[in-house]
Homo-oligomer: A and B are copies of this chain.
Amino acid sequence: MKFYTSTTEIPEEMLKGVELTHTHLSYLSETGILYDNTLDNKAVPIISGGGSGHEPAHIGYVGAGMLAAAVTGPLFVPPRAKNILKAIRQVNSGKGVFVIIKNFEADLKEFKKAIEEARTEGIDVRYIVSHDDISVNTYNFHKRHRGVAGTILLHKVLGAFAKEGASIDEIEQLALSLSPEIYTLGVALAPVNFPHHRTSFLLAEDEVSFGVGIHGEPGYRIEKFEGSERIAVELVNKLKAEINWQKKANKNYILLVNGLGSTTLMELYHFQYDVMRLLELEGLSIKFCKVGNLMTSCDMSGISLTLCSVKDPKWLDYLNAPTGAFAW
């Protein structure tokens, strides 16, 4: 059993619970919108959002130096355009509003509708579509390019840049420069197990699925589980093939090890150790890393690995800058 049972509604109790816990966050009832009530209107506001079930994303990244607001929908269902529009209006102070969207068809539909409407109201809205997932579709072998855990690098870097006083044009340019450098690949040890949630794939106790999504989407290959190191080798090799770091002069990288839900910190840090050893052998230098449950898929057991080349050393300053967000 679970303390929360998924429905087709916005999870009001969770969002009110967050509001009652974190004094810098205010909740607009029945909209899914949590916003930073300490906004000083000096920075261009950045918003993001998506279905619930990915906590701490995105509510945990609202705060000074990251997001101005997050819009949350029902479990694994994106927020409605009308609520995204409300969020844009809520944070707008005339400098424009920047929106970070995860690349899923349903999300794009709602966000684009809201953005178009806001623009007709005269708000200068720009956006980036995060598409860090490099897994392939088993049916047609096309890359899936979904927006997954690497998205939070956009939240942090752009949020700190905005706080520094960057214009909407500058934020857009940085987003276009940073987003294509972010690569993520996930693996599940067990699927989502939530009441009233239809499990989209099944795994035997000793199997793992490579390339899963964050809504329980199946991966590209099921294998026998042979330990943390074997999984680290698979993920690092796939990322290497994609990024081609051996052919690049810049060996400085940002690393995220993300738990997909019920994977313990003990496991995440064990896996992190395996990954760091492999990356050292590859000659990469990890200049910033983060380990934890950053963008989950309810209680799925699994991990995703994100790598991002440090094209500009200022990105590291933005990652290390202080923030009021509770989950960074």
Interface residues, chain A, with chain B CB atoms under 8 Å away: 1-4, 11, 13-18, 20-21, 52-53, 55-56, 60, 189-190, 205-206, 208, 225, 227-228, 231, 261-274, 276, 289-291, 293, 296, 298-299, 301, 303
Contacts and interface: CB of A to CB of B under 8 A. Distances in A.
A288 to B, nearest CB: 10
Given A1-B225, A189-B1, A266 B20 contact: no
Nearest to A52: B266
A13 B263 contact: no
Given A16-B273, A17-B272, A17-B276, A262 B265 contact: no
A52 B265 CA distance: 11
6 contacts: A1-B208, A11-B266, A14-B273, A17-B268, A17-B271, A262-B299
A15 B21 CA distance: 31
B273 A13 contact: yes
A266 B20 CA distance: 14
A17 B269 contact: yes
Contacts of A11: 266, 270
Contacts of A267: 2-4
Contacts of A55: 264-266, 269
A1 to B, nearest CB: 4
B228 A289 contact: no
A231 B4 CA distance: 12
Contacts of A60: 265
Given A1-B208, A21-B289, A298 B262 contact: no
Contacts of A263: 3
Contacts of A18: 269
